[in-house]
């Protein structure tokens, strides 16, 4: 099976595009508007870009009527956004924040989540989340879509502070994935929770290269 997605109809009952690029980490982004209203929403197009300095990105499609997402506007206007790690235990709260709430609604309250203050960023963190990045907004790259809904804002940020709860760290100082169960987006309505991992090292990698792959400072 193959087809050209921009010129041919999909021969399958469900579009395979998002279902092939899996698993995708969830960018559970909190922001604060210039009016002081807190916002929280998940984005499944989220990724780290580099590590020196650490930089991240998330992509937000606009609404079909041309409105841009509150998260993007808040980050642009205030210069900050915060990433909160989503876990299996937080899946239902995350799903509530995925709804298209009207402007001015605080999704923390709607999802029954607690707020933890950041040190540098304006927006609060999800207190129940095990890890957070405080991100200074860098820029937005807008890409044209074939429809109003297809337009996308790609937002870039620099991570200026990292929070990790002590209780989710192993004795070796690594994140305990089995305990955290990070949530990932699959295709369709499907999600996955990471509960099993395995280690694999690049042959003959040594010195700074090996340290960097493992995450040593």
Could you state, in order of their start, the residue ranges of all structural domains in the chain?
23-214
**Beta strand residue intervals within 101-217, DSSP E:** 115-116, 125-126, 131-143, 152-164, 183-185, 191-193
pLDDT for the residue numbered 209 = 67
pTM score? 0.93
Q: How many residues does the chain have?
A: 217
Q: How confident is the model at residue 205, as a pLDDT? A: 76
CA–CA gap between residue 135 and residue 184 (Å, rounded): 21
Instruction: Return the number of other C-beta atoms located less than 10 Å from residue 71's C-beta.
Output: 23
pLDDT confidence of residue 203: 87
Res 103: pLDDT: 85
Annotation: CATH topology of 23-214 = Pnp Oxidase; Chain A (2.30.110)
Give me the pLDDT at residue 207, please.
74
**Paired tokens of 126:** 């999800």
pLDDT of residue 13: 95
Chain position carrying tokens 């290269």: 209
Q: What whole-number distance in Å separates Cα of residue 210 and Cα of residue 190?
A: 34
By the 8 A CB rule, do 75 and 155 touch? yes
Name residues of the chain where pLDDT drops below 50. Answer: none
- Rounded Cα distance between 17 and 176, Å, is 31
Q: Which 8-state DSSP code applies to residue 102?
A: P
In the prediction, which pLDDT does 63 show?
87
Q: How far is CA 137 from CA 112, 122, 147, in A?
A: 27, 12, 27
Q: Which of 62, 20, 65 is nearest to 10 (CA)?
A: 20
């Amino acid at each position: 099976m193959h087809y050209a997605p921009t010129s041919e109809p999909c021969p399958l009952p469900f579009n395979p595009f998002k279902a092939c690029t899996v698993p995708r980490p969830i960018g559970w982004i909190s922001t604060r508007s210039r009016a002081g209203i807190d916002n929280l929403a998940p984005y499944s197009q989220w990724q780290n870009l580099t590590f020196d300095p650490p930089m991240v990105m998330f992509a937000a499609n606009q609404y079909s009527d041309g409105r841009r997402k509150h998260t993007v506007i808040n980050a642009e206007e205030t210069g900050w956004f915060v990433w909160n790690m989503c876990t299996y235990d937080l899946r239902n709260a995350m799903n509530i924040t995925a709804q298209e709430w009207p402007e001015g609604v605080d999704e923390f309250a709607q999802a029954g989540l607690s707020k933890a203050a950041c040190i540098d960023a304006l927006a609060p963190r999800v207190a129940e989340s095990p890890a957070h990045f405080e991100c200074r907004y860098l820029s937005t790259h807008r890409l044209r879509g074939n429809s109003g809904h297809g337009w996308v804002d790609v937002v870039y940020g620099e991570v200026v502070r990292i929070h990790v709860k002590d209780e989710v760290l192993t004795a070796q100082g690594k994140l305990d994935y089995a305990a955290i169960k990070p949530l990932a987006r699959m295709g369709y309505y499907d999600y996955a929770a990471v509960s099993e991992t395995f280690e694999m090292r690049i042959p003959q990698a040594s010195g700074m290269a090996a340290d960097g792959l493992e995450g040593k400072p």
